[in-house]
């Protein structure tokens, strides 16, 4: 990859700012015969929990207008199986690997991170906070700063690696959550996660997703994701990683201009397994066309004078 794409994220050197998003790239090893993992800027593995989870009933995916609805249900092998079966294979590749972590109480997150701490081959953690806190009546960590802050602080106490907090868009205002995560010690933010959505089969009068509701991703959400990334980046001083409908190099450039320091690619990998490398190459071509020496020069350059729509 050209040097103009190289960045440092939370002190972690990346070949380029295009990272494979969690849940769309498996554990990474599934793609080793499809693309050159050594050329990938970074990857976030499928979400890891204390114990294995079977996930939701099928159907789990539905292609919607301009996007995709999924309800996989956080299916995963569990943190210990990841360490024994997946991570050893990932270590042979020269790409930055982040572990996505989730749970239903702060101690779940803490335990998963504690187990991962002694493992080699990881550069950081991404906390999926779009989960209900079962100890507080099912209130989502991602919707209440008073729940989010203690969760982030508890993980930071046991982590020697950078901690990224992945924020949900299913909130009235993103700034209070972004600030709460930063004040609790988060090293970076990533946003947005999927939007809660419903697809209906009018003939059978049933949802098209087995679990009912699912998460909407893809190009349809990009304008809203851009707005929220811009708002979050203005509210905090830590790096923001933007995601939500990125399917081209110019899409990635838009998120950088809006204030993101790096981007993640998710849904695009479903229809184009080479998407993450293609988008990085297209981003490099965009930089060259604009006579930009390094991708970091794009970050936060949006000329914005607007207010409410």
Cβ neighbourhood burial of 293 (10 Å; 0-12, 13-18, 19+): exposed
Residues in contact with 266: Cβ distance below 8 Å, sequence separation at least 6, in sequence order:
20, 21, 22, 23, 24, 217, 243, 246
Distance CA 64, CA 54 (A): 25
CA distances from 78 to 75, 116, 140 (A): 9, 11, 21
Helix (H, G, I), strand (E, B) or coil at 92: coil
> Over the range 234-258, which residues count as b (16 or more CB within 10 Å of their CB) and which as e?
ebbebbbbbbbbbbbbebbbbbbbb
CB atoms within 10 A of CB 170: 15
Backbone angles phi, psi at 66, to 5 degrees: 75, 15
- The closest of 286, 239, 309 to 42, measured between CA atoms, is 239
Helix (H, G, I), strand (E, B) or coil at 242: strand
Catalytic, out of 14, 20, 43, 131? 131
Give the up-direction half-sphere exposure of residue 49: CA atoms within 13 A in the CB hemisphere: 15
* 8 A C-beta contact, residue 295 and residue 17: yes
Show the DSSP H helices in 219-291 as ranges.
222-235, 249-257, 268-271, 275-289
Question: Whose structure tokens read 């970074």?
Answer: 42
Q: Does 308 qualify as catalytic in the annotation? A: no
* 8 A C-beta contact, residue 191 and residue 148: no
Question: Annotated catalytic sites, by residue?
Answer: 131
């Amino acid at each position: 990859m050209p040097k103009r794409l190289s960045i440092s994220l939370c002190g972690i050197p990346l070949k380029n700012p295009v990272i494979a998003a969690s849940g769309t790239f498996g554990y990474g090893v599934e793609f080793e015969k499809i693309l050159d993992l050594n050329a990938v800027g970074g990857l976030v593995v499928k979400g890891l929990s204390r114990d294995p989870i079977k996930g939701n009933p099928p159907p789990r995916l539905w292609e919607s207008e301009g996007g995709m609805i999924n309800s996989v249900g956080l299916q995963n092998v569990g943190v210990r199986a990841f360490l024994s079966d997946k991570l050893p294979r990932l270590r042979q590749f020269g790409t930055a690997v982040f572990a996505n972590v989730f749970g239903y109480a702060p101690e779940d997150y803490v335990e998963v991170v504690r187990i991962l701490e002694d493992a080699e081959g990881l550069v950081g953690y991404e906390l999926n906070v779009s989960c209900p806190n079962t100890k507080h009546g099912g209130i989502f960590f991602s919707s209440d700063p008073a729940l989010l802050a203690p969760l982030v602080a508890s993980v930071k106490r046991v982590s020697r690696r950078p901690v990224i907090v992945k924020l949900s868009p299913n909130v009235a205002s993103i700034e209070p959550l972004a600030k709460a995560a930063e004040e609790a010690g988060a090293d970076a933010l990533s946003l947005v996660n999927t939007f809660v959505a419903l697809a209906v089969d009018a003939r059978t009068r049933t949802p098209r997703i087995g679990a009912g509701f699912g998460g909407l991703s893809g190009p349809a959400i990009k304008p809203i994701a851009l707005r929220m990334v811009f708002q979050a980046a203005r509210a905090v001083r830590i790096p923001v990683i933007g995601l939500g409908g990125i399917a081209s190099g110019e899409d990635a450039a838009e998120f950088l201009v809006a204030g993101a320091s790096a981007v993640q690619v998710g849904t695009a990998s479903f229809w184009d397994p080479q998407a993450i490398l293609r988008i990085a190459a297209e981003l490099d071509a965009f930089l060259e066309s604009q006579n930009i020496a390094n991708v970091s020069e794009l970050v936060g350059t949006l000329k914005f004078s607007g207010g409410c729509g």
